[in-house]
Amino acid sequence: MNALVTGDFGREYLVMLPDRTECVASRKGKKQDVTCGDEVIVSMTGSKAARIDEVLPRRNVLFRKDSWREKTLAANLDQAIIIVAPRPTFSPTFLNLCLVACDAAGIPATIMLNKKDLPEFEAARESIRYLERIGYQILPISAKFDIEPLRPILANKKTLLVGESGMGKSRTVNNLVMREVAKESEFSEALDSGKHTTTYTRLYWLDKDTAIIDSPGMQSFGLFHLEDDDIAYAMPEFRTYFGDCKFNDCAHMDEPNCAIITATEAGKIEPQRLTFYQALVEQQRELRESHPEWKR
């Protein structure tokens, strides 16, 4: 029968059956190719247990990849919400990495700037105003006091929430679901393991047509799976200038007559974005050169 993966605990999963009940499931053959949001075919192995026999084709998937490991975050998404906050200070590099990953995967992204009640909020908003000029939506929110402005953006969609640790993602999820989901014990009891409760990915229904996927807080977001051209194409403001560079294989680093560098100098591309792109490409090249044994 068909099912939806609603919890990813690494080696075990939760799946929602056609009657919308959930049960614990394991992957046939001990494969680890399943992620939250996957549509799957399952066979029941008990009254509350199932085996995942097949993962159905995905319309998209968001994942991060360091030079040594790959982590799939979620699949079949309508959008992603990237949560940042003024305290603790968020990383602009992390934010831009998330935006590139979403764009490369064809997943629309919105930036949720949380903790608008803090005095540092306006300075934080000003620091990412350039992303708004590019076309990204920035939603000011206080998850602590009023989560309601977020609900219309989530309506009738499946949304991944992602962010660094400490940005207020857990409070956001709790207030959207209207219970303290992070403290629930049902997962630990079902899987007989409490260690997963800080690392799992979980889908929650807000209504029958609206779902959020809560991913673990993280400190890095590797894009080792992307080639230089993929990164450039995932910068939407660069695309207007593709084909205008002097050299067909221009990497937009320091080549003469690079249309993207020229556009940046003319104020048509935000300098922070070109600096981010060049630093990322250089970092990826250094990793590939120093560790040729690492495969993408």
pLDDT in tens, the chain (296 residues): 999 999 999 889 999 999 999 999 999 777 789 999 999 999 999 999 999 999 999 999 998 887 667 889 999 999 999 999 999 999 999 999 999 999 999 999 999 999 999 999 999 999 999 999 999 999 999 999 999 999 999 999 999 999 999 999 999 999 999 876 655 445 544 554 433 334 689 999 999 999 999 998 777 788 888 999 999 999 999 999 999 999 999 999 999 999 999 999 999 999 999 999 999 999 999 888 876 665 55
What Cα–Cα distance (Å) separates residue 187 from each residue in 28, 174, 181? 20, 16, 10
pLDDT of residue 212: 98
Q: Which of 84, 90, 68, 104 is closest to 222 using CA atoms? A: 68
Kindly compute the dihedral angle of the four CA atoms of residues 136, 238, 227, 200, in this order, to the nearest 10 degrees: 0
Distance of CA 7 to the CA centre of its chain: 16
How far apart, in whole angstroms, are the C-alpha atoms of residue 135 and residue 231? 18
pLDDT of residue 296: 53
How far apart, in whole angstroms, are the C-alpha atoms of residue 50 and residue 139? 40
Among 2.40.50.140, 1.10.600.10, 3.50.50.60, 1.20.1440.230, what is the CATH number of 2-55?
2.40.50.140
| Homologous superfamily of domain range 61-214 | P-loop containing nucleotide triphosphate hydrolases (3.40.50.300)
Answer whether 161's CB lies under 8 Å from 73's CB: no
Lookup: tokens for 233: 């194409």
What pTM, to 2 d.p., does this model score? 0.91
Strands 39-46 and 49-55: antiparallel
Distance of CA 248 to the CA centre of its chain: 32
- Listed by start position, the domains of the chain span 2-55, 61-214, 228-290
228-290 maps to CATH 1.10.40.50: yes
Answer whether 160's CB lies under 8 Å from 213's CB: yes
